[in-house]
Amino acid sequence: MTVIDDRTIDDRTACALVEEDHEHHRFRVHRSTMTSPDVFALEVERIFGRCWLYVGHESEIREPGDYVRRPVGSRQVFMVRSKAGDVKVFHNTCPHRGAMVCRKDTGNAKVFQCFYHAWSFDTEGKLVGVPDREAYGDGLDFGALGLRSVARVESYRGFVFACFDPGVVGLVEYLAGAAEYLDLIVDATGDAEIITGTNAYAIDANWKLLAENSVDGYHAVPTHDTYFKYLTALGTSLAGGVAGTATALGNGHAVLEYSAPWGRPVAKWEPLFGEDAREEISRIRADLVDRYGEDRARRMADTNRNLLIYPNLVVNDIMAITVRTFMPTSADRMEVTAWELAPRDELPQLRQRRLDSFLTFLGPGGFATPDDIEALESCQQGFRSGGIEWNDISRGMAREPVANDEEQMRAFWRRWNDDITGDPR
């Protein structure tokens, strides 16, 4: 029986949950990490309670009073642009009796009023209205009864993160090498905005399976065969295949970079975008070269990337820029939300193609996502079968890792193991 800080992890497991053996080129993860409610409880406390988590993008709340409401790390919060122009992230609970104060997913408000007893708060979180206030007398400190901000809130290049641990390292230090890839995305996009609307769905599988899958080059060809046939039918050549590299970026983050046979609305034309887009895409590319030089422009325009920011943010900078989070609700279920990031001043025809790609490949009814959901749910069902205790994540340990190896997943699991066991990072 394995016990961490007097808490039972799994009655079947008498050894570490993550094992790495360099001599024998073996890296494996015990399957109880995907099924155990006790492991999940520790994840909520030690990962989602202590890591920086993506809340939203500043473009979603451009004007004072703009707000969005969403769950972050199993907690209800809302992000609002204050009347002073600051980005605030509040716990979505009334200091009076606990009801959620913000009850719509998005909107604009000067005041947030709790529907239960009508206590009201401004966009700075200050308590500004209490019905029958004289009933409380003069002794109660109403100034201490405002909304509570999440312990830490920071923004990087428009991406807003929050952490419930006041002692967490700064966001830039936490992002480590992932910051460079956010820079590439933002510099290539310019005045970026999250387009209104989301893809939202649930998967009956452990959340870490989607973290793995998001940077897994090994599964692309067999799992997404239908999409590659679709590209071929449109006239796209697949002769060069999909080749690239996978890189650990520190703190559990990782990136999969590859040259792919599909186009990018940013600056690489392919037949699926249509002839009428060729000239505009060429102009965009020339502008990137003028501003950043040929080498950096090539990275922006020609290289696709799947960026995993530990623990649960993925930015797919491919045929569309998809920002995706996945929040676990139990050991075997997660809720997924995806947004589309795009240049604010993009031509309508390019915006339409971008949105079509957002839905056609990565949407819940598209080519890729149903394949991935089927694969992950199949894994979760396979875990219940028993008989095999360990998942093998050793591919590439005996060589310099490439895009279809698993070093990027090992980076995730090393950080996960450190967080769960309390080992120093």
Domain ranges in the chain are: 53-167, 177-421
Assess contact for 75 and 58: CB atoms under 8 A. Answer: no
Q: What pLDDT does residue 228 have?
A: 67
Q: Is the pTM of this model over 0.85?
A: yes
* CATH ID of 177-421, from 2.40.50.100, 3.90.380.10, 3.30.2420.10, 3.40.50.2300: 3.90.380.10
Nearest to 125 by CA among 101, 108, 151, 148: 148
Q: What is the pLDDT along the chain (425 residues), one digit of tens a residue?
A: 344 444 445 444 435 899 999 999 999 999 999 999 999 999 999 999 999 999 999 999 999 999 999 999 999 999 999 999 999 999 999 999 999 999 999 999 999 999 999 999 999 999 999 999 999 988 899 999 999 999 999 999 999 999 999 999 999 999 999 999 999 999 999 899 999 989 999 999 999 999 999 998 766 667 666 766 766 776 666 555 556 788 999 999 999 988 765 556 566 666 666 777 788 888 888 999 999 999 999 888 888 899 999 999 999 998 789 999 999 999 999 999 999 999 998 888 888 888 888 888 788 888 888 899 999 999 999 999 999 999 999 999 999 888 889 999 999 999 999 999 986 44
Residue 57 bridge partners (DSSP): 159
Cβ(92)–Cβ(157) below 8 Å = no
Are 29 and 391 in contact by the 8 Å Cβ rule? The answer is: yes
What is the pLDDT at residue 4?
Answer: 44
Q: How confident is the model at residue 264, as a pLDDT?
A: 63
249 to 94, 135, 258, 297, 410: CA distances (angstroms)? 39, 57, 16, 21, 12
Q: Among 1.20.1250.20, 2.40.110.10, 2.102.10.10, 1.10.3720.10, name the CATH number for the domain at 53-167.
A: 2.102.10.10
94 contacts 72 by C-beta, under 8 angstroms: no
CB 192 within 8 A of CB 305: no
Strands 18-21 and 106-108: unpaired
Region for residue 293 given its phi and psi (left: phi exceeds 0; alpha: psi -120 to 50; beta: otherwise)? left
